[in-house]
Structure 1
Amino acid sequence: MQAFTRQLGRESGVQLNPLVDGSEVPSVGNEDQCFGIIMRATRGRIDRPFKVSRGDVYAKLGRGEPIRTNALNEAWVHVVEALNNGAYEAVVQRLSTSNAKIKYALVKLTKTEGANPTSKYTFEVAESLPTSEGFVLGVKHLECFNDGIKLELHADEVLDDDADQVGNDVLTLRVKDPDGNTLYEFTGSLSPNAKDDYGNSYYLPDIVAARTTNVEVTVGVVGDNAVIVPDTAAYGYNANGFQNWAESDTLICFEEGGTSYTTQDYQRCRENLQYTQFDFSYISSGGTQAPALLAQLAQLAFDTNKQLRFDVPGNLSVEAAIAFVEQLNMGANKTAHLLQAFWTPLKTDDPTGVNPKGYFGTATLNIAYACGRNAVKDGKGFAAKNYPIAGREWQVNRTGITQTATLRGPDLDKLAGAKINPVIYEVYTGGGRYVFYDSLTCAKVESSYRKLISVADMSCSLDDMISRAAKDFLQLPMKVAIQRMNAYLKAVFEGAESAGWLQKSTDPQMGGNAFAYSVKESELNPMDQMIIGYWLHYDGVARAIFQTQTITR
């Protein structure tokens, strides 16, 4: 007999209350090792974002198509390269138009009459499910493979009391890619009342719904017809003892509907990425040159307080590159420090091997290096974000590189004035290499920390950490919330200072400290509003070094 009760009334006894966890502190995940992107792909859902990792990028995004057939295909190269160079995951919103169609793959039972009647399972594609019973299964594959899918069907043999084969309502359904790789396998019943040994629904559509949201299955047969019939390719075993499978040819169940995207298409994709449940800290342009898409990405950066790193076409001259950025007018954005431009006048081999030698943007590669850097944290959970992804240690690791632009001092000055970071050849101790030459944001300032990418990186990280912690403290008593926020800010800022993010300030109002903060009730609405303010002095970056030699006698 137990020695306690959970709820004690007027009787004598011991009430043991549930464990109170006072050890938990706000924490962060690995979102700073992930990036978001809006891109064209040949595979992937079109209705909402999905995650892609190094291990499943080909399965989820397809094998990629040549850029010479469509410039939008460069984004695929960016994603694959990034996942191979430090990015943990990409959160992808696939571009689509209103003309895109997701069709059904239908499984039908075809019977022939005559002296020797036969039955056969056939497969076809339809835009909608038949209104009357005329199909066994309808399969809707929401991952939208341009290259199609294959279906396979099998049911074990079932014998009656006379040892004759009878129909089996339990079947196994496989969904495969065109190469025969199994994407999904489900086993369930065609009967809506079927239960498993634990009393759970064994109805095939319910089994599918419980396993994935990427496939929808509808059963089109009822009653005695809701079985896989004997003497078909989907039933039983062959003479060699192997399972019989009814197999389809490749079924093209998705029509992309063209690639002429409108502003409304870009806006819809931007909103999907903004409100996704998946976390990411960087936004990639995927090499796009579409002003409408770049404008939506800049809006996404503002709405989410995440950095957008975008490419200026590498085949442009210095003047044309500057004109490209100026016509985007990124500096007018309210959070221009979150926007960062990279110009790569380099012809290189395609890092994925799909395309011939050409110009490939490096903004996503820069993000990948940042993600890899962020994976290494100190004892307090801070990565070396005060080190920008630029300079000697961050070289472009592609092959067959040829620089197609000769840059002189005035050219580099013009690029810096336009807030463009060139990716070019530089000479260091130990030889030369192709590197990210500068680390400027698009903020139209000259003497401000806002012009430094490293400051944007640290600033975004701290804002994100603090806003997430503040959400944890919502709906607590005001005094408790203020106490917890004060304790949290103290720990965070001390950690940032020890990591080298913050340095002692010379501002008299800072009193020689690297940070200051305030947490208090609102004077106007003290009953339910808490006001948080913090003042931080970030470490800068040695972008320019002035050297003088003096000869003495």
Structure 2
Amino acid sequence: MTVSFVRQLGSESGIQLNPLRDNSEIPAGTNSDQIFAIAMRATRGRIDKAFIVNRGNAKLKLGKGEAMRVTELNEAWVQVQEALIKGAYSAVVSRLITDAAALKYIVVAEELNEVTDLPTGNYTFTVTAEIPTATPYLMCIKHLDCFNDGIKIALHADENRVDGANAANTILTLRLLDKDDDKIAEYTGSLIQGDTDDSGNSRYLPDIIEARTDALEVIIGSTQSIPVNSAMYGYTSAIADWVESDVLIYFTEGGTAYTTDDYQRATAQLAETQFDYAYIASGGSKSPALITVLSNLMHDTNRQLRFDVPGDLTPDEAITFVEQLNLGASPSAHLAHAFWAPFKSTDPTGINAKGHFGTASLNIAKACARNAQTNAKGFAPKNYPVAGREFPVDRTGIVQTYTPNNYELNALAKAKINPVIYENYTGGGRYVFRDSLTSAQVESSMKKLIAVADMSTSIDDAVTRYGKDVLQMPMEVSVKRMRDFLTTLFEGATASKWLVASSDPEMNGSAWRFSVKPNEVRPYDLMDVEYWLRYDGTNRQTHVTQTLSR
């Protein structure tokens, strides 16, 4: 084909066609405000980094759950499952482990005849801490998803017809199963390094696995083909012959006596993960040490932490529980939100008997479901807090175990604790999140309102994301683009009722104003961005007066 241009002209005559320049891109949001993070005890899941789960794969990736009678730490599993069902798009999980946790290799080796020392066609499966060096093996497997309940390994090699007869095959299929024989993964590849398919792509089994997942490592040993007499070779009565192991316990959790170092390791994984999220859940943890390190993560990431105050505590005990955390001293105290639910309910997952289950993750789930409903300008109704009549606690078998009086409700509000209790409304009563207070130690400030925390963190996230987009650009271009972006953003927030007119004289009756300019001291490489916003508040109290007229 003849073209009328070139991509780069030298001194010759001709037409240079430059690559397409795109000025049409519009800053787009993400669905990170439908995702939450949690550090939790689980029976499955990676221990080397945080991973993401959704409603469809949560049980496969986290395990099928264990009763809270075994350990109350299992409540986190219940909360994650409920949250994913009730509105959260996904959860970013950092698995809690101790220093005693041990991940071992699964070694597959040919079984040798004790007399002749020749292969019998059968295979052995063993678990070892190190890769064997003295004895030959078929393959060494390291499963990084760390199932407490173990996995099974199954192997099969198809018949290989050469000159009309079966011959040894260098291609085999590796299948991983859980203890209930549910398939986890399956890969087919060659035992010979450097082997390629018809397209020139490597079909070496470790290369195929590495291209598809980072949760499995396979090392091929000295055996480079599967002989005809192998138990995994070919078919019997048109049914594939597989060699399958028993359940192999290759990972030990090492107990659940977590230390502060264990909590810090887990939260560091949440801070470093590539997966984004807008909320952090405590998972019903009663550990002040875990909630404290989660509050540090909250401050470092500007994400909201919603945590549970144990529902079996009295109001005085609940206040003591929160006071010992001293979250009000954090410069980001408005991002911490406490929920106290003094009722028993049926386990939403059916694993446990009726009991006290925290509601902080449920509150996050309902916030995620709310955030999925954006308007034409891309704004969710975050000016509506997840509280009151419109956001009931939709569990079954609820029995309230403590009913606080007005004086106790007053004390809870002063301690910045949000009760989750029964309330009467038009059309009947329901269990609801009765209040929407942050942990900020203020009386008359917008920082006390969860809705404001929700909106302000969303604005900060949008601005900082776009700020990254205009880094390493000419200063004048960066300033102009940031000004245009803020104007569009704040106009959209005002139209979406997030922002209302301010009474501050400096605001001149506007709901927002901003300043974007090069820094006075470092005008060449530093741009200053400041903005002032008047968010809409939340009606927490209504004073009603009736006057009798003559």
Structure 2 length normalisation: TM-score? 0.98
Aligned to 1:158: 160
1:542 is the counterpart of 2:539: yes
Using the TM superposition, name which of 445-454 and 180-189 deviates more: 180-189
> Partner amino acid for 1:102?
L
Equivalent-residue separation in structure 1 for 2:528 and 2:404 (angstroms): 49
Equivalent-residue separation in structure 2 for 1:181 and 1:354 (angstroms): 20
> CA deviation digits over 1:88-124, x for unaligned, max 9?
0000000011111111111110122669973211212
Q: How far 1:166 sits from its partner (Å)?
A: 2.5
Alpha-carbon spacing, 1:117–1:33, altered in 2? closer, same or farther (3 Å): closer
1:121 is the counterpart of 2:123: yes
Aligned to 2:282: 285
Aligned to 2:193: 192
> CA deviation digits over 1:307-350, x for unaligned, max 9?
00000000000100000000111101110000000000011010
Retained in 2: the 8 A contact 1:121–1:234?
no
Retained in 2: the 8 A contact 1:100–1:257?
yes
Residue pairs, 1:4-403, within 5 angstroms: 4-112=5-113, 118-161=120-163, 163-221=164-222, 225-238=223-236, 240-403=237-400
Residue pairs, 1:492-503, within 5 angstroms: 492-503=489-500
Equivalent-residue separation in structure 2 for 1:399 and 1:511 (angstroms): 51
Alpha-carbon spacing, 1:231–1:499, altered in 2? closer, same or farther (3 Å): same
Retained in 1: the 8 A contact 2:110–2:119?
no
Equivalent-residue separation in structure 2 for 1:284 and 1:293 (angstroms): 11
> CA deviation digits over 1:148-192, x for unaligned, max 9?
10111011122343x443221110100111111111111111111
> Partner amino acid for 2:298?
A
| Partner of residue 429 from structure 1, selected from 426, 429, 436 | 426
Equivalent-residue separation in structure 2 for 1:166 and 1:23 (angstroms): 60
Equivalent-residue separation in structure 2 for 1:188 and 1:378 (angstroms): 49
Retained in 1: the 8 A contact 2:500–2:534?
yes
Q: How far 1:366 sits from its partner (Å)?
A: 0.1
> Partner amino acid for 1:3?
S
Equivalent-residue separation in structure 2 for 1:68 and 1:298 (angstroms): 28
Q: Which runs of 5+ in 1 are unaligned?
A: none
Retained in 2: the 8 A contact 1:112–1:119?
no
1:483 is the counterpart of 2:480: yes
Alpha-carbon spacing, 1:132–1:164, altered in 2? closer, same or farther (3 Å): farther
Retained in 1: the 8 A contact 2:111–2:119?
no
Aligned-CA RMSD value: 1.1
Secondary structure in 1 matching 2:240? coil
Equivalent-residue separation in structure 2 for 1:252 and 1:176 (angstroms): 13
Secondary structure in 1 matching 2:86? coil
Retained in 2: the 8 A contact 1:26–1:472?
no
Equivalent-residue separation in structure 2 for 1:117 and 1:409 (angstroms): 80
Retained in 2: the 8 A contact 1:151–1:175?
yes
Alpha-carbon spacing, 1:243–1:499, altered in 2? closer, same or farther (3 Å): same
> CA deviation digits over 1:394-440, x for unaligned, max 9?
11000110111121111110000000000000000000000000000
Counting matched residue pairs gives: 548
Equivalent-residue separation in structure 1 for 2:455 and 2:243 (angstroms): 57
Q: How far 1:8 sits from its partner (Å)?
A: 1.4
Secondary structure in 1 matching 2:22? coil
Aligned to 1:514: 511
Retained in 1: the 8 A contact 2:110–2:120?
no
Retained in 1: the 8 A contact 2:37–2:270?
yes
Secondary structure in 1 matching 2:410? helix
Alpha-carbon spacing, 1:438–1:513, altered in 2? closer, same or farther (3 Å): same
Structure 1 length normalisation: TM-score? 0.98
